Structure 1
Amino acid sequence: MTQAFNQGTASVTLFPEAPDWDGAPTMALGKFTCKSAEDGATVLTEASEAARRAGARRLLGPMDGTTWNSYRLVIESDGSAPFLMEPTSGPSDIAAFEGAGFAPIARYFSAGVALADMRNPPPGETDIEVAPWDGTDPEAHFSQVYDLSLSAFAGNAFYTPISREAFLGMYLPYVPVLRKEFVLFARNARGSLVGFLFGIPNYAAGPSPDAVILKTYASLQHGAGQALAHAFHHAALDAGFTTAIHALIHETNTSAQRSAQLGAHVFRRYALMGRRLDDDAG
């Protein structure tokens, strides 16, 4: 059961079930807000001690229980407005976490690329065929994505699987605003699904945005990711968008290299913070 803590201008929730870190009992601190770094550090320390008493030896934050929910702090920004589904942070958040003994344990970034100037060469010879969603039966199509994601994301840091029902509950509400050309499926010569890509216009900027977000893509076969990304950027340019946002990429992921090769420029950096409770004195 989650537990809420409050101190002055700050509040945080302790999630007793969280992704494993270092093979040690792990909990997460999420739903964090603060107006002062001092209050933030105090409430995080209080919640950390409660986690220790409950048996935790590792803490992750900010994370609302799993990586399927909101997580990560903004640690560097060019000041541009948040894009759709992007995690946000208050100006005192990073100082509060550092003041409570947390340090970055995973780093991510978002980058933007001008589509007209992008270096987007076609993928090499491959048996992979990329096709957009036909707009029918969204539940069936996203169920296929769910099945693929269990394998594609299994090796990701701090990944934990969720139920099919929870997955559909996250994606199906976006169906009314999806554009079919930005929901892509990659299949091999046998017709097996080997990759998917989920993109969406940046509606946080208004009903007619000029940027489209490459939110999620994954593949099970070499070359599928590159083929999906190429098709996505080509479709975005054809649709009249001027910018593509490469969202929330782990710094060590292959996607980071591909983003740089396309000429994208980082405009935001993020960190997942961690604290090893068994390293603390006392």
Structure 2
Amino acid sequence: MNHSDIRFYPSSDIPPLPLLEGLPSPDELAPMSEMPDGRIFLLNAQGQAVAHTALWWNHTPCLEGNEVGAIGGFAALGEIEAVALLEAAVKELQAQGVQKVVGPMNGNTWRRYRYIAESTGRGPFLLEPRNPASYPEWWRAAGFHEIAAYSSSTILLDGQPTVADALKKRLLKSGLTIRPIDLNRYEEELRAIYTICLKSFASNFLYTPLSEEGFLGAYRKLKDRIDAELVKIVERDGVACGFVFAIADLEAAARGEKPALIIKTLAVDPEARCPGLGSVLVDEVQMLGYQKGFSTALHVLQFDDNNVRRITTRHHGETFRRYSLFAR
């Protein structure tokens, strides 16, 4: 392939391009609503796209004090095409002044990012990222290295607490109350959860704040799928300061399997000064899940070095999937 096979387009000026059979469409992997700054296509001799990806260099996360360039919405039909496409993507981002390139990431970590790198073969769970098994090796062949690792684990539920009762009593005596989400005030409840997320995740790797509307839009889709008792909100003096969001693995149920309970999101406002609250919330929702018939919980998509991961270790979690985020 030669350089003339590469086509770069600003996202506002992409002509209709035919795709070779088997290649997902760009909008399927990186919709225009996610505002990529540009897209790159690799074309064959017949003018058909055999690989494509989206690029972000504006409003991206910072790494070591500098904004990164992000490559996401990636698809390729072979390693040669993948390497050529990624080389072109890096060069375009460098031309935009980017020093560090990260991917796969659709602009930021609130959207689709990272690849499954290792798996025991367990079926995919609700809201899990997907990728062909060859993709991580193709990125490595293009000179990328792992910059962050994540994992998902299974927890066997037995209905027994794993934190001392004294810890929960101490937290409740400090003025905290724990209650289920009120679906009749779902929008209002989501706004309170959003505020907690902004504070709790601010120090996370590659963090960028998400607009309130972007957050609400993502969680609105889940309203009809959730059991209110499995979403716990913590308040002090009427102000929300923590929550755990758990949901049944409806994708497993659709396959005819017994669903696990997914511990999707756990967050505590660091300003609330409630050490141990995260452990109490996970313990409480897992015991309730057991009472509702769940025998397994999934602690999912955890950064390998954070407090939530330590809670998983305390529950003797067994890793069934590992994920990688790459950089160059």
Which segment is superposed worse, 17-26 or 144-153?
17-26
Q: State the shift of 1:35 in Å.
A: 3.1
Amino acid at match of 2:259: D
Distance 1:122 1:141 in 2: 29
Computing the radius of gyration from Cα coordinates, the structure with the larger value is 2
Counterpart of 2:18?
none
Does the CA contact (< 8 Å) of 2:115 and 2:129 recur in 1?
Answer: yes
Per-residue deviation, 1:119 = 6.4
How far off is 1:100 after superposition? 1.5
Greater relative CO, 1 or 2 (CA 8 Å, sep 6+): 1
Aligned residues: 274
User: In structure 2, how many angstroms separate the alpha carbons of the residues matched to 1:69 and 1:95?
Assistant: 22
Query: What SS is found at the alignment partner of 2:64?
Result: coil
The equivalent of 1:213 in structure 2 is: 262
- Report the secondary structure of 1:84's partner residue: coil
Sort the Cα spacing of 1:117 and 1:76 in 2 relative to 1 into closer, same or farther, 3 A: farther
- The answer to whether the aligner puts 1:173 opposite 2:221 as a matched pair is yes
1:200 aligns with 2:241: no
One-letter code aligned to 2:192: Q
Q: Which runs of 4+ in 1 moved over 3 A?
A: none
- TM-fit CA distance, 1:24: 2.1
Compute the TM-score of the two structures, normalised by the length of structure 2: 0.79
Pick aligned residue for 1:4 from 17, 28, 39: 39
Is 2:180 aligned against 1:132? yes
Displacement after TM superposition at 1:223 (Å): 2.1
Please give the residue correspondences for 1:177-256 in structure 2 after superposition, counting only pairs within 5 Å: 177-188=225-236, 190-207=237-254, 209-220=258-269, 221-256=274-309
Rate the CA distance shift 1:138–1:242 in 2: closer, same or farther, 3 A. Answer: same
SS of equivalent to 2:204: coil
Give the residue type in structure 2 aligned to 1:162.
L
Cα deviation, residue 228, structure 1? 1.0
Is residue 325 of structure 2 the alignment partner of residue 269 of structure 1? no
Which amino acid in 1 is paired with 2:51?
A
- TM-score (norm. length: structure 1): 0.92
Q: Using a 3 Å threshold, how does the CA distance of structure 1 residues 41 and 146 change in structure 2: closer, same or farther?
A: same
SS in 1 for 2:155: strand
2:34 match = none
Letter in 1 for 2:250: Y
Q: Which deviates more from structure 2 when the two are superposed, residues 48-57 or residues 17-26?
A: 17-26
**Cα distance in 2 for residues equivalent to 1:218 and 1:85:** 18
* Distance (Å, rounded) in 2 between the aligned partners of 1:191 and 1:5: 50
CA distance in 2 between counterparts of 1:55 and 1:269 reads 32
User: Shift of residue 206 of structure 1?
Assistant: 2.6
| SS of equivalent to 1:237 | helix
- Partners of 2:52 and 2:160 lie apart in 1 by 43
Report the secondary structure of 1:137's partner residue. helix
C-alpha displacement of 1:197: 1.0
How far 1:265 sits from its partner (Å)?
0.3
Q: Does the alignment pair 1:101 with 2:101?
A: no
What per-residue deviation string (whole Å, max 9, x for no partner) do you get for residues 218-258 of structure 1?
Answer: 11232221121111101110110111000111111011111
1:34 aligns with 2:76: yes
Contact 2:161 2:283 (8 Å CA) reproduced: no
**How large is the Cα RMSD of the aligned pairs?**
1.7
Counterpart check, 1:21 vs 2:70:
no
Following superposition of structure 1 onto structure 2, how do residues 140-151 of structure 1 map, counting pairs within 5 Å?
140-151=188-199
